[in-house]
Structure 1
């Protein structure tokens, strides 16, 4: 299904198409019409299925049709990292609109806290927040959400696992009862259905299972130290005939850094990130599609919409935080029943994330030995199982009774 079929606001659609998005994913095909129809929704969909766009696009489209929209949208996320990722998507998709957003999370300094307070008083279109810090602003009276129209709970099961149930209910107490509520969860245990029954009004339900990697992808992994990564990639890219390569990095700053590194090494590479102007991004994407640029470097968010045929190699410079992102990353190659290679570089601190990927895809990824001249690699040892925390009981000896 083409995004043009949703009849989005022309400015929103222009930003969407400029980012390389063309066809809606299954979760987007099902969720967008329901949200546009102002239905409450509970959706079971994992990261990597396009779930963020499934709720952002219809809500942003409705915002473009509303003049009085300050502090009208609240998106709750379990972690600062996810809140930042969602904000990056808002920033990219709203490039041609005047939609504004604000991330609210703990861990910042006093200056950041004051900036948040000022933005809240002035009003923004979309607030993306972790529960704890949001409650602080609501309790202080700085943030007023009496005009809220749209509430989204992303990764709701993870929020409950982290003990945010009471915080969520407290936040909802500050919100109007008349609102549209959308809940996304990777799993659907009874506690999620209980929460949904308290927050949602006659909700529609969607269940999307994440697909496994295509059979035509040759999945490989190197265990390396960070200092060995660039040297290894230099050899891989010079000694194999890869016509079109995507390199995924964890942050925008690392994308920029790798762009400079690869250029110094003689590779024709471009870093694709949100700090570039619209015309620059369009030119880079066109050159990559036409094979004039063989190497494109980007993050999960900005590379999620790339739909380019003939990508022969995907490199995970960093192991993705969420296992589902791995499936989405390597799915850029071996499309339309072709074959391709996916290489993941695993350092010592990313071993557990890599193990979670193998658990999700239900197979062991082929380990490729590090060339000897690059030095010794980190040991690929089985991870020790995390023991569940058990609260120890304290025993106190009774004091002997005083003898009479």
Structure 2
């Protein structure tokens, strides 16, 4: 079991040994994680490690056609990266067999439980061989995770880089106490003070859409990423944010751990999270790779309880800053009605190489203080 704060390299901690072991065996690696974006991110990291060995993967995620994923499975990949729901779909349709799995990774385990994937995880654990290596990685620990570990691991070793709730040291944290009807004006002032990329979290997907539209009305280039966006739209927003085409990205908690972007100067909690643990994951998007960062939270006068819960979790008091002089109130045009489009998908082939992995046929990568 690996417990560490976000941005500390947990992905490489399992990617390197997994690739090394599978290079000399006929087994199958299986990585289970909570979101599509994180699945694609892990797939890229695995190929950075294993491309020189001819590594082949299959990515099984929702939002994409199941047919190319089935084709990738038929081409005998070495590692399957999957979200719980889509993997269960394949198991029910009998398009995948997990009988050869000898390495299982549950990544972002706490987030998967938060999202209600415990029943699917239990079904997946029943479908894999009992004789296997199991690795569980999480930023926080809970009694439920410990139950999963004790039931599915033999003499587990727990490696804890930092206690649960630890935040990145080089993040400057502060809170503004602000009335609900003044939050937009405070946001406008802060965005005008910072020149770098800004990541903003809201509590709901509808709030994210409205906020992104309002930010555009302020004159900033913004994108939104939440569960009501298709996979193609979410990937476009994230890649555009990474490339600098969007200065502001508005996201919900469900997307927090799929956002791996170095150089985010500021994280703003426009809404406090509904769960204290989400605060740690949100502000962990800044100050990555040893860089400095800043996290600003907007708290309404009646949210003292939520602030205290966060402070208990992170074991420190967060500075409460005086509210600055705000710009005059102005209205922004209403957000347009939500538009939902069918997701697109694409997949590309991997070259066949002479390597420890070359015995198998090449496969395509699917993309699929108050």
TM range (shorter): 0.5 to 0.7
CA distance in 1, matches of 2:187, 2:133: 48
Distance in 2, matches of 1:44 and 1:213, equals 14
Q: C-alpha separation between the residues in 1 aligned to 2:217 and 2:182?
A: 17
Equivalent residue number for residue 135 of structure 2: 182
Q: 2:177·2:301 contact (CA, 8 Å) conserved in 1?
A: no
Question: Which of 72, 77, 82 is equivalent to 1:127?
Answer: 82
2:188 to 226, 234, 241: 234
Of 312, 323, 329, the match for 2:279: 323
Q: Distance in 1 between matches of 2:208 and 2:111?
A: 28
Partner of 2:244: 284
Shift in Å, 1:178: 3.7
In 1, the alpha carbon distance for the partners of 2:118 and 2:221 equals 50
Could you say if the C-alpha distance between residues 121 and 244 of structure 1 is closer, same or farther in structure 2, counting changes exceeding 3 Å? Answer: closer
TM-score between the two structures when normalised by the length of structure 1: 0.52
Using a 3 Å threshold, how does the CA distance of structure 1 residues 334 and 234 change in structure 2: closer, same or farther?
farther
Q: Which residue of 1 aligns with 2:354?
A: none
Match of 1:358 in 2: 311
Whichever of the two has the greater Rg, that structure is 1
| Secondary structure in 2 matching 1:173 | helix
Residue 297 of structure 2: SS of its match in structure 1? Answer: strand
Question: Which residue of structure 2 lines up, in the alignment, with residue 103 of structure 1?
Answer: 61
The answer (yes or no) to whether the contact 1:247–1:296 under 8 Å persists in 2 is yes
Quote the RMSD (CA, aligned, Å).
5.5
> Is the 8 Å Cα contact of residues 58 and 69 (structure 2) preserved in structure 1?
no
> CA 1:200 to 1:314, structure 2 compared with 1: closer, same or farther past 3 Å?
closer
2:41 matched to 1:73?
no
Alpha-carbon spacing, 1:235–1:127, altered in 2? closer, same or farther (3 Å): closer
Shift of 1:372: 9.5
Any stretches of 5+ residues in structure 1 without a counterpart? 1-41, 105-111, 286-292, 376-381, 383-404
| TM-aligned CA distance change 1:134 to 1:269, over 3 Å | closer
1:45 aligns to 2:4 (yes or no): yes
- Equivalent position of 1:37 in the other structure: none
Could you report, residue by residue, the CA deviation over 1:324-349 in whole angstroms, capped at 9, with x for unpaired residues?
A: 1244245469956xxx7532234799
Residue 236 (structure 2) pairs with residue 275 (structure 1): yes
Greater RCO, CA 8 A, separation 6+: 2
CA distance in 1 between counterparts of 2:236 and 2:47 reads 11
2:97 corresponds to 1:144: yes
1:220 equivalent in structure 2: 175
Equivalent residue of 2:149, what SS? Answer: helix
Residues 351 and 145 of structure 1: CA distance in aligned 2, closer, same or farther (over 3 Å): farther
Q: Is the 8 A contact 2:103 2:134 kept in 1?
A: yes
Asked whether the equivalents of residues 150 and 179 of structure 1 are also in contact (C-alpha less than 8 Å), the reply is yes
CA contact (8 A) 1:314 1:333 kept: no
- Decide whether the 8 Å contact of 2:7 with 2:289 is kept in 1: no
**For 1:44 and 1:246, how far apart are their aligned partners in 2?**
27
Relative distance call for 1:152 and 1:234 in structure 2 (3 A) is same
Q: Distance in 2 between matches of 1:94 and 1:333?
A: 19
Q: 1:260 to 1:94 in 2, by over 3 A?
A: farther
**Residue 244 of structure 1 is aligned with which of 196, 212, 225?**
196
2:156 and 2:241 mapped to 1: Cα distance? Answer: 39
Task: Tell me the SS of whatever aligns to 1:274.
Answer: helix
Q: Does 1:172 align with 2:172?
A: no
